[in-house]
Amino acid sequence: MTAGQAIATRDLTLSYGDTIIINELDLEIPKGEITVFIGGNGCGKSTLLRSIARLLKPKSGAVLLEGEAIAKLSTKDVARKMAILPQSPSAPEGLTVLQLVKQGRYPYQTWLKQWSTEDELKVRNALKATGMEELKDRTVDSLSGGQRQRAWIAMTLAQDTDTILLDEPTTYLDMTHQIEILDLLFELNEKEKRTIVMVLHDLNLACRYAHNIVAIKNQKVFAQGKPEHVINCGLVKNVFGMECEVTMDPLFGTPLCIPYGKGRCILKGKGFKDD
Amino acid sequence: MKKYYNLRLLGDKISFLVNRKALITFLLLAAAAAVVFVISTGTGEMKISPLKVVQVFFGGGSDMDRLIIQSFRLPRIIVALMVGMALAAAGGILQGIIRNPLASPDIIGITGGASVAVVGFLAFFSNKNNALTVSINWMPLAAFAGAAILAFLVYFLAYKDGVSPIRLVLIGIGLASLMKALTTLMMVFGPIYQASQANIWITGTVYGSNWDNVAILVPWTLVFLVLAFILARNVNIQELGDDIAMGVGSTVQKYRFLLLMVSTALIGGAVAFGGGIGFVGLMAPHMARRMVGSAFGALLPASALIGGILVMAADLIGRTLFSPLEIPAGVFTASIGAPYFIYLLFKTRNA
């Protein structure tokens, strides 16, 4: 175990009932980088993320957080090292942003000590980092989709952990807000060296923001590495079962995947691949 | 004006973030509860002015006033206050842990369990002349046992690697319907006199409360209200969903069980002495939410006070409006609560 790993899995097998989702997986997730899980629907990438976050008990094997088996740590200790934002969370009616973000401090609180000076500082920093200071007294249900997601991210930031896991943080957001959220996470990684692990559906955005891609298929990791090293036509064909061309993103130089398929093609003889 | 105060004592060992608006609302509600308490104490066959009522509270007043207040009125008003507080607080807890605004003591069957126990008690311990063969003082115990057994049954049947909110509420609704059917069955087959007596109980009344009831109900309710308050932040975190709650390091199943037990204890005590008073457990938390917001530390005390006010007022109306006829308080909780609740919903529709 080198110091370079935030999370590792050892012989990890995950299942729902008798259905094996992930089989004997050994995975290493580097510290201080953005790692993105990709894969087709139902490949188990969200399940893997949930299991790393100890929300799902493995059938066998272990998840290691900074070298220690997560099952052996107290859940509060884990919560001080790693935060998880599940997919499309919902807040009760009438809860304000401040009241939501404050709950990220749960692992540091007792029933008498619910608002220490440190709590206040961390909550303020989280609101600042996500640009939510102005909106802190608004109710979560009155916010737009992008603001709401930033409020939830602020809550996970208030938890003050080195590692943050996010399950499809851009789902249901329009393109502007997808970029806004991913830029925010990228900045958190750049400035504060937080390890970020997330599931993303958009392959091109994954290539642009990830240092490290983990492509999952058939209960295994199909490939792992820098996007520019692992993403190519062959991988997309194998992992997603889709024909495509991979070219270079004209703005970022990262891989850009353009799928074949039907559609309104104005270039003769292109668009549909028939081999 | 600042929206929040930082309350910090002994370094940071005792520290809370106090919402100014919620605190003011709480104080106003407490004042309103005190006013209703005094007015209710002074109202009845013999009218006593609020000033004299307060004098009696502090040991003064005429002998006659003292007798009426202490022997006849105070016990039932205190019981009404406790019953309302307990039901409203329990409803708030249930809505939080089940994550469903429709959850309440009646919906998940706990009150139903108590009803079956009481109707069964009246049926099994009656002789041919419809006289009870055991003391009526055992009835609260029967009600409490019915509520407790049903709560455990709901939890046990909903258990599958822990208890999920949706299973809890579905099993609860199923058992509530079953309890309702059982109650009806026993009432239809029992003699008319029993049916009407049972019906009064099911509607909910604090008629006939005495100091012995107060001596049991007050400490019981207060202890569990304090416990609920201590557990408030666990209700808050569960309201965000199991994944978030586990993610921040809460032992979700442990607290869900504890909170269910606390609400069962509150409901059990309330139905034992107040019967199946409806509406309060469902609506008081919603009223409170519209006044102080969703944070449970503020919601719980506000909800409890609203519940207490509702039941005291309902009982006051019930015993004075058609005097000398006594109408069970449960008839009026909805009729005075619902219009105000609808007004609150209407007022906050754009908020």
Mean pLDDT of A6-28: 92
Mean pLDDT of B235-240: 94
Residue B8 in domain? no
Residue B204 in domain? yes
Under an 8 A CB cutoff, do A78 and B249 touch? yes
Closest CA of chain A from B167, distance in Å = 18
Chain B interface mutation, best of A16, A111, A148, highest count of B Cβ atoms under 10 Å: A111
- Say if residue A63 is in the same domain as residue A106: no
Residue B129 in domain? yes
- Say if residue A66 is in the same domain as residue A199: yes
Rounded CA separation B329/B316 (Å) = 8
The CA-based angle A104-A79-A155, given to 5 degrees, is: 20
Under an 8 A CB cutoff, do A83 and B248 touch? yes
Residue A27 in domain? yes
CB atoms near residue B149 (< 10 Å)? 17
Predicted confidence (pLDDT) per residue in A34-84, tens digit: 999 999 998 999 999 999 999 999 999 999 999 999 999 999 999 999 999
Mean pLDDT of B324-349: 81
Whether residue B350 has pLDDT greater than 70: no
3-state secondary structure chain A: CCCCEEEEEEEEEEEECCEEEEEEEEEEEECCCEEEEECCCCCCHHHHHHHHCCCCCCCEEEEEECCEEHHHCCHHHHHHHEEEECCCCCCCCCCEHHHHHHHHHHHHCCCCECCCHHHHHHHHHHHHHCCCHHHCCCEHHHCCHHHHHHHHHHHHHHCCCCEEEEECCCCCCCHHHHHHHHHHHHHHHHHHCCEEEEECCCHHHHHHHCCEEEEEECCEEEEEECHHHHCCHHHHHHHHCCCEEEEECCCCCCEEEEECCCCCCCCCCCCCCCC
Nearest CB to A112; choose among B14, B96, B239: B14
Name every chain A residue with its beta carbon within 8 A of the beta carbon of B299. none
Interface of A with B in 18-57 (CB under 8 A): 50, 53-55
- Say if residue A130 is in the same domain as residue A57: no
Rounded CA separation B174/B6 (Å) = 45
* Mean of per-residue pLDDT scores for chain B: 88
Under an 8 A CB cutoff, do B230 and A111 touch? yes
How far is CA B55 from its chain centroid?
A: 29
- Say if residue A177 is in the same domain as residue A97: no
Q: Is A103 on the interface with B (CB under 8 A)?
A: yes
What domain range is A152 assigned to? 92-160
Under an 8 A CB cutoff, do A113 and B12 touch? yes
Predicted confidence (pLDDT) per residue in B3-43, tens digit: 888 888 887 788 888 888 899 999 999 999 999 999 999 99
Name every chain A residue with its beta carbon within 8 A of the beta carbon of B232. 111
Give the lowest-confidence range in A51-65, B197-211, B287-301: B197-211
Among A142, A160, A178, residue at a domain's last position: A160
Under an 8 A CB cutoff, do B294 and A78 touch? no
Residue A84 in domain? no
Nearest CB to A107; choose among B6, B96, B249: B249
- Say if residue A102 is in the same domain as residue A26: no
Closest CA of chain A from B57, distance in Å = 34
Q: What is the CATH number of the domain that holds B291?
A: 1.10.3470.10
- Say if residue A117 is in the same domain as residue A231: no
Q: Is B21 on the interface with A (CB under 8 A)?
A: no
Closest CA of chain B from A154, distance in Å = 13
Rounded CA separation B183/B201 (Å) = 12
Residue type, position B339, single letter = P
- pLDDT at residue A266 in the model: 86
First CA to last CA distance, chain B = 20
Q: Is the ipTM of this complex over 0.85?
A: yes
Closest-CA residue of B relative to A112 is B14
- pLDDT at residue A273 in the model: 67
Residue B240 in domain? yes
Under an 8 A CB cutoff, do A95 and B293 touch? yes
Residue A152 in domain? yes
- Say if residue A268 is in the same domain as residue A198: yes
Residue A179 in domain? yes
What domain range is B200 assigned to? 84-347
CB contacts < 8 A, A to B, total 113
Whether residue A121 has pLDDT greater than 60: yes
Under an 8 A CB cutoff, do B247 and A55 touch? yes
- Say if residue A246 is in the same domain as residue A110: no
Under an 8 A CB cutoff, do A99 and B293 touch? yes
Closest CA of chain A from B2, distance in Å = 12
- Say if residue A255 is in the same domain as residue A190: yes
Whether residue A14 has pLDDT greater than 60: yes
Under an 8 A CB cutoff, do A75 and B14 touch? no
Rounded CA separation B194/B200 (Å) = 10
Among A129, A160, A191, residue at a domain's last position: A160
- Say if residue A7 is in the same domain as residue A137: no
Mean pLDDT of A198-207: 95
- Say if residue A119 is in the same domain as residue A203: no
Under an 8 A CB cutoff, do A75 and B240 touch? no
Q: How would residue A1 be classed by pLDDT, with cut points 50, 70 and 90?
A: very low
Q: Dig out the tokens for A194 from the structure.
A: 């937080």
Nearest CB to B236; choose among A96, A103, A137: A103
Whether residue A275 has pLDDT greater than 60: no
Whether residue B289 has pLDDT greater than 50: yes
- pLDDT at residue B348 in the model: 67
Q: Where are the alpha helices (DSSP H) in chain B?
A: 20-42, 50-57, 63-67, 74-98, 110-124, 139-158, 165-189, 192-203, 211-230, 232-238, 242-247, 252-274, 280-292, 296-320, 329-347
Name every chain B residue with its beta carbon within 8 A of the beta carbon of A80. 249
Rounded CA separation B191/B152 (Å) = 31
Whether residue B342 has pLDDT greater than 70: yes
Interface of A with B in 66-95 (CB under 8 A): 74-80, 83-86, 89-95
- pLDDT at residue A2 in the model: 45
- pLDDT at residue A9 in the model: 94
Considering its fold, how many domains does chain B have in total? Answer: 1
Considering its fold, how many domains does chain A have in total? Answer: 2
Whether residue B351 has pLDDT greater than 60: no
